[in-house]
Structure 1
Amino acid sequence: MAAPWSARLAELGIELPAVVKPVGSYTPALRVGDLVYTSGQIPVSGGEVIIQGKVADGAEGEVSPEQANEAARLCALNALAAVHAEVGIDSVVRVIKVVGFVASAPGFSGQPGVINGASDLFGEIFGEAGVHARSAVGVAELPLGVPVEVEIIVQVR
């Protein structure tokens, strides 16, 4: 890519948020060699959890797959903020792996579509360098009652 990733973010009108403060005994991101691993990132904006509940198809009072997809996108932005704080966004060579967890109501099996919110964001920002391996896992509960959590591994210079 000719321009740095920070320029691509500006072109897309995307601003990286502040790094989400850990809710436990861990660090948001850790560099080992040429890889940066993030801790699981949840849908927090401005220091507040923005959505809670389990993901379901059409269930009253639950989180819709579309809402969860948007939450996964926010989780991905929070993961990138953690990477940026650790090494600078322009150090990213490529996204290697995305792991997404979806708090799923009984019978919900659309986890891949939910985690596409994160994957699609990486494609928008990084193009071919955003193509990654991925897992999308349904779970019973997530921290603070959120519907989705995303962690990533990126290769850096």
Structure 2
Amino acid sequence: MSGPESRLAALGLKLPDVAAPVAAYVPAVRTGNHVYTSGQLPFADGALVATGKVGGEVSPEVAATCARQCALNALAAVKAELGDLSSVTRVVKVVAFVASVPEFSGQPLVANGASELLGDVFGDAGQHARSAVGVAALPLDAPVEVEIVVETS
């Protein structure tokens, strides 16, 4: 088991199977020494962790948990593309989309669910640039969608 996967196990986590695309795309693409993931929804055991809008039906705390699950799913897509997470040398960028009510402005706190997991798994190499964007709706009424870009050796 690679270093990042050992750290996941120490956190009590394991990579899920790669989520099947819900439309016409692939979960991840490698070009040169970067892997770009498609937006990952918060699927766990085949179902969304939560549905609805953050600040409405979904609390910010539950949404942060969803963002963490999205990041875990993104790592599964990266591993499927690379074969092993140990070849990830840096998490470059994270984009978190947060389906939220108009009054909600805590998107960065929701995105921390993904960012903190990546820091826990990759240490300093998990520190990344990030955007946290509020949106009106996401596929399947998911409250959060996360995509990542990683650099590989």
TM normalised by structure 1 equals: 0.93
Q: Distance in 2 between matches of 1:86 and 1:116?
A: 25
Q: Distance in 2 between matches of 1:134 and 1:12?
A: 23
2:16 counterpart of 1:17: yes
Matched residue SS, 2:76: helix
Matched residue SS, 2:145: strand
- Which letter maps to 2:12? G
What is the number of residues matched between the two proteins? 151
Determine the structure 2 residue equivalent to 1:83: 78
Structure 1 residue 156, shift from structure 2 partner = 0.7
- Which letter maps to 1:76? A
TM normalised by structure 2 equals: 0.95
Q: Give aligned-pair identity as a percent.
A: 61
1:72-94: per-residue Cα shift (whole Å, max 9, x none)? 00000000000000002111111
Determine the structure 2 residue equivalent to 1:67: 62
2:116 counterpart of 1:154: no
Does structure 1 retain, via aligned residues, the 8 Å contact 2:34–2:152?
yes
Runs of 5+ consecutive residues of structure 1 not aligned to the other structure: none
Does structure 1 retain, via aligned residues, the 8 Å contact 2:5–2:14?
no
Does structure 1 retain, via aligned residues, the 8 Å contact 2:96–2:132?
yes
Aligned CA RMSD, in angstroms, stands at: 1.0
1:5-46: per-residue Cα shift (whole Å, max 9, x none)? 222222222200110000000000000000000000001112
